[in-house]
Structure 1
Amino acid sequence: MSGNALYTDLSGYYDLMCADIDYAAQSHCVQRLQQLFGNGGRRHLDLACGTGPHVRHFLDAGYASSGLDINQPMLDRAALRCPEARFVQQDMCAFQVDEPQDLITCFLYSIHYSASLARLEACIASVHAALAEGGVFCFNAVDKQRIDNASFVSHSVCQADGRFRFSSGWHYRGEGEQQLLRLRIERQLGEQCEVWDDEHPMVAVSFAELQALLAPYFDVQVLEHDYQRLLPWDGHAGNALFACSKR
């Protein structure tokens, strides 16, 4: 499979792929960041929301939460998970909202789906336009200069239709504005093993470049990629949380 085939055609596997993610901790952490840097409002939009697990946690915390994604099968599943939320199919690099939002999030490194620096800047501008005064934009990102091409993260899940192993890793060739997110799904059922490989083109950006793109629009706090503790980024780690307050 190539392009975004896994994301498009195997959206039913999305929740299994993300089964090891602590959505509650991530959502609670961002709520704390909004309390520190935001306007206290409860209007929330999740970009690249997938099947809506983060939206579910924000709804349960009392937010008027909604989701945006370019993939309609994902949104169909999100609507089943969160029937009280509004989900819209839009490109996060050129979206509009009906009313200003107090908090906009983009979890799971999905900001990199912008795919190019020009589209990343367009995404940032769209977010700024969609936020209310004092609104906050929170997301996580990886620095292209600190990517280890040999590093992969894997986990396994047992289901009635087999044992699944999901693996993912970043790959950056050392130049240019694109990196790859490499994905693999392996399914073992008895003696039979099936394997799906895919590569997603993602925007490659250093944290210095990212902060320069954000600076005209936001006051930026860069934090350690730790959803349990709020600590300033140490300047060395290859991933980080960004809390951006609208100017």
Structure 2
Amino acid sequence: MSVNALYTDLSGYYDLMCVDIDYQAQSNAIRRLHQIFGNGRTTHLDLACGTGPHVRHYIDFGYASSGLDINQPMLDIAATRCPEAQFTLQDMSGFAVNDPQDLITCFLYSIHYNDGIEKLKACISSVHRALQSGGIFCFNAVDKDKIDNALSVKHSAKQANNMFTFRSGWHYSGQGEKQSLRLSIEKANPEETQLWNDEHPMVAVSFAELIALLAPHFEVHVFEHNYEKIIPWDNASGNAIFVCVKQ
């Protein structure tokens, strides 16, 4: 099954798949960083916004928030969740906005959905063009050299008569600019059990490489992957939050 087919078929289950994610803590942490590094204004765009939970929080914070994604069924759900927001069907590798933004976010490691260095470069350029002077770009990322292919996460959730079990993990061959997100979704009820396995192509990049790509466009600050405290990156951990101020 193709990547788009999987997510189109399961768009109605996406929020269930992400039920363990603390969207409010993530949104609030980036809001705090925006208050520190931003230009004092509050237009916001969320890249790869999915069903819009982060957008919902930014609207509630008082932002003029919007989102984009490549999946229309996800955007349909987002529009129901956030009727105040504008959502557009666009690829973050090359997007345009009608009005310059003060904050652009990309949560849940979605920056890696630019599935090659050239697409990642194009995304960074698109973000730079879309930002106001002094605007910031915030996202989280994983360092390809710190990926442990043996690690994965798992959680289960019940919906109606069905029990869903979700498993996901990074995989990197050890060379090149391609890594993948391996995803398994099991849907079980008394009558049957269904299983989807899929592998999403993503860009692999070290933090040194990522900083080098960002530096011509932004003043780059890197923090530990901690949504409770603002802690500078220790130059050792493989997950981090990037705050990029438009130069």
Equivalent residue letter for 2:180: L
Query: In structure 2, what is the Cα distance between the partners aligned to 1:102 and 1:2?
Result: 35
Choose 152-161 or 3-12, whichever is displaced more: 3-12
8 A contact 2:4–2:71 mirrored in 1: no
Alignment of 1:145-184 (within 5 A): 145-184=145-184
Equivalent residue letter for 2:115: A
- What's the CA shift string for 1:5-52, capped at 9, x where partnerless? 322321111111110000000000000000111101110000000000
Query: In structure 2, what is the Cα distance between the partners aligned to 1:137 and 1:56?
Result: 18
Structure 2 match to 1:222: 222
Query: In structure 2, what is the Cα distance between the partners aligned to 1:66 and 1:242?
Result: 20
Alignment of 1:92-107 (within 5 A): 92-107=92-107
**TM-score (structure 1 length as normaliser):** 0.98
8 A contact 1:148–1:170 mirrored in 2: yes
8 A contact 1:4–1:198 mirrored in 2: no
Equivalent residue letter for 1:131: L
Structure 1 match to 2:90: 90
Query: In structure 1, what is the Cα distance between the partners aligned to 2:198 and 2:83?
Result: 31
- What's the CA shift string for 1:114-162, capped at 9, x where partnerless? 0000000000000000000100000000000000001001111011131
Query: In structure 2, what is the Cα distance between the partners aligned to 1:241 and 1:96?
Result: 24
Query: In structure 1, what is the Cα distance between the partners aligned to 2:156 and 2:190?
Result: 16
Equivalent residue letter for 1:6: L
SS of the residue aligned with 1:79? helix
Equivalent residue letter for 1:55: V
Structure 2 match to 1:56: 56
SS of the residue aligned with 2:25? helix
Alignment of 1:113-152 (within 5 A): 113-152=113-152
**TM-score (structure 2 length as normaliser):** 0.98
8 A contact 1:70–1:91 mirrored in 2: yes
How many corresponding residue pairs?
Answer: 247
Tell me: CA distance 1:127–1:86, structure 2 relative to 1, closer, same or farther (3 Å).
same
RMSD of aligned Cα (Å): 0.9
SS of the residue aligned with 2:211? helix
8 A contact 1:37–1:245 mirrored in 2: yes
Query: In structure 1, what is the Cα distance between the partners aligned to 2:148 and 2:59?
Result: 36
Choose 2-11 or 95-104, whichever is displaced more: 2-11
Q: Within the alignment, does 1:202 sit opposite 2:193 as a pair?
A: no
SS of the residue aligned with 2:3? coil
8 A contact 1:4–1:200 mirrored in 2: no
Q: Within the alignment, does 1:211 sit opposite 2:211 as a pair?
A: yes
Structure 1 unaligned segments of length 5 or more: list them: none
Q: CA deviation at 1:192?
A: 2.6
Query: In structure 1, what is the Cα distance between the partners aligned to 2:34 and 2:87?
Result: 22
Query: In structure 2, what is the Cα distance between the partners aligned to 1:9 and 1:150?
Result: 28
Choose 3-12 or 235-244, whichever is displaced more: 3-12
Equivalent residue letter for 2:230: L
Query: In structure 2, what is the Cα distance between the partners aligned to 1:236 and 1:134?
Result: 29
Q: CA deviation at 1:4?
A: 3.7
Query: In structure 2, what is the Cα distance between the partners aligned to 1:209 and 1:67?
Result: 27
Q: Percent identity?
A: 68
